[in-house]
Amino acid sequence: MPSTGAPTVAFTTLGCRLNQAESDSMAEQMAAAGVGSPATGDDPDIVVVNTCTVTREATKASRSALRRVARAHPGAKVVAIGCYAVSDADEVASIEGVDVVLGNDDKERIAEILGEERQTAPLLQIAPPVRRSSVQAVRVRANLKVQTGCDEWCTFCIIPKTRGPLRSFNADGLVDEARRRVEAGARELVLTGVHLGKYGYDLGGDERSLIRLWRRLLEIDGVERLRLSSLLSRHLTAEVVGFIASEPRMCRYLHVPLQSGSDAVLARMHRPYRIADYVAALERAKILMPDVALATDIIVGFPGETEEDFSATKDVVRRLGFSKLHVFRYSARPDTAAADMDDEVHPEVKKERSRRLIALGNQIRSAWLDAHLGRRLDVLVEDEREVDEGWVCSGQTDDHVRVFFEGRNLYGSVVPVEATGIRADGLKGHLLAEAALG
Ligand code: SF4
């Protein structure tokens, strides 16, 4: 570590959007406390690896990231934090080059923890505080963590153990945080949480707590969009869907985890809904918002999943026409109830089912993207860069499609674009005259 100047910090984040939100807020916290300013070069003093352990692959990726970071930055302090650091703390601590292992709850006071450590380190000077907004200065879309923890205990999931019970954050604090992010340039706020639909439940509320929070966030000047990371189907009540449908700044995008189309599998997963309710909730949403995009997560090859169960999953996927499927092959996570279940599905069968489901998802997505062609789309510009032929902007629609088009000096604005073609990563289009003329 250098002996003078502010220590610099880089982040490597794995896993969910919640982890991303927490990395943003740790970076902001560390910058504000002068414990670590954002690293701009290849030689950070501190690297925080925010880990995940939701699947075996995620655990493996987190382990590899820690090893890679430790090798790439031998002089840096490597901090392992997050779910993998909680679930397998001893293993993480034994990885060569990992200096500090912290849990999820430590994320809220990482500046304090690392600050305390620094006081014992020789030759390190306290840097002047960095403006809080610096980390978010270029973020048009900002994550806002409104809740953490879960009390559902799905049998495949380690999260209730790694993140603890449901905890919602105070609405006043969230509004302040959102305001800071909007002042720093954010136009879209993405509300994240482990169990977003239960925001406020631990404080004696119900779904209306979430609606009240949305209302307050939408009152902030400059908020163009509110996006929800994910909700369980049972939280799509008439009131919730009615509010989303009535407010144009609520994104027409609902990510509602399905996991399986078979009630028998859902029961073994200990999921808190059954298929008829799930389908009814999403169909109600589609009636009120015919243009809503539906995305979901599905696990294939859960213990005991038969070909018939798998067909039921495909039926639900066809019926609801998801714009995006996230397909996961089941792998037993140690310390979960499902890890002890019999009737393991053969790996080749899992692979084959996953391939078939991904193909079905791609086919539906492609038709869904096709339906955008020739339409006017409102795009929030999140990137603008010079290429050989000129300047290219890209950004997202409220139904979560990335659109690329020629344009300049539009960063951070919502502009009308006509979709003209499909790309592997979204759509291409051209700016409509009204925006081009400014
Ligand atoms: S709802 Fe189930 S899958 Fe989601 S975090 Fe809670 S326990 Fe895990």
Q: Is the pLDDT of residue 3 over 50?
A: no
Region 62-79 average pLDDT: 92
pLDDT in tens, 277-313: 999 999 999 999 999 999 999 999 999 999 999 999 9
In angstroms, rounded to a whole number, what is the distance separating the alpha carbons of residues 140 and 121? Answer: 37
Q: For residue 269, what are the contacts with CB-CB under 8 A and spacing of at least 6?
A: 154, 155, 156, 259, 260, 299, 302, 338
Q: Is the pLDDT of residue 257 over 90?
A: yes
Compute the distance from residue 157 Cα to the ligand 1 centre, in Å. Answer: 6
Query: pTM score, two decimals?
Result: 0.83
Four-CA torsion 258, 259, 260, 263, nearest 10 degrees: -80
Residue whose Cα lies nearest atom 8 of ligand 1: it is 157
Please, are residues 266 and 305 in contact by the beta-carbon 8 Å criterion? no
Structure tokens at 401: 């499609």
pLDDT of residue 39: 84
In angstroms, rounded to a whole number, what is the distance separating the alpha carbons of residues 131 and 25? Answer: 13
pLDDT in tens, 360-417: 999 999 999 999 999 999 999 999 998 887 899 999 999 999 999 999 999 999 999 9
Q: What is the DSSP letter of 237?
A: -
Q: How confident is the model at residue 85 (pLDDT cuts 50, 70, 90)?
A: very high
Question: What Rg, from alpha-carbon coordinates, does the chain have?
Answer: 22
The values of phi and psi at residue 380, to 5°, are -85, 115
Q: For residue 29, what are the contacts with CB-CB under 8 A and spacing of at least 6?
A: 110, 111
In angstroms, rounded to a whole number, what is the distance separating the alpha carbons of residues 8 and 434? Answer: 44
Compute the distance from residue 60 Cα to the ligand 1 centre, in Å. Answer: 20
pLDDT of residue 169: 95
Of 153, 195, 330, best ligand 1 pocket probe by most atoms within 8 Å of the beta carbon? 195
The answer to which of 241-245, 331-335, 337-341 has the lowest mean pLDDT is: 331-335
Of 17, 86, 153, 154, best ligand 1 pocket probe by most atoms within 8 Å of the beta carbon? 154
Q: For residue 370, what are the contacts with CB-CB under 8 A and spacing of at least 6?
A: 422
Of 159, 198, 234, best ligand 1 pocket probe by most atoms within 8 Å of the beta carbon? 159
The 3-state DSSP class for residue 268 equals helix
Please, are residues 293 and 400 in contact by the beta-carbon 8 Å criterion? yes
Compute the distance from residue 197 Cα to the ligand 1 centre, in Å. Answer: 12
297 in ligand 1 pocket by Cβ < 6 Å? Answer: no
**Ligand 1 atom closest to 158 (CA):** 8
pLDDT of residue 112: 81
Structural domains for the chain: 8-131 (3.40.50.12160), 376-436 (2.40.50)
16 in ligand 1 pocket by Cβ < 6 Å? Answer: no
Region 183-195 average pLDDT: 94
**Ligand 1 atom closest to 270 (CA):** 2
Q: Is the pLDDT of residue 242 over 80?
A: yes
195 in ligand 1 pocket by Cβ < 6 Å? Answer: yes
Helices (H) and strands (E) in the chain — how many of each? 14, 18
Q: Which residue has the higher pLDDT, 267 or 38?
A: 267
Q: Is the pLDDT of residue 106 over 90?
A: no
Handedness of CA 277, 283, 286, 288 (dihedral sign): negative
pLDDT of residue 87: 86
Tell me how many degrees the CA angle 91-95-97 measures, rounded to the nearest 5.
Answer: 150
Of 17, 19, 148, 150, best ligand 1 pocket probe by most atoms within 8 Å of the beta carbon? 150
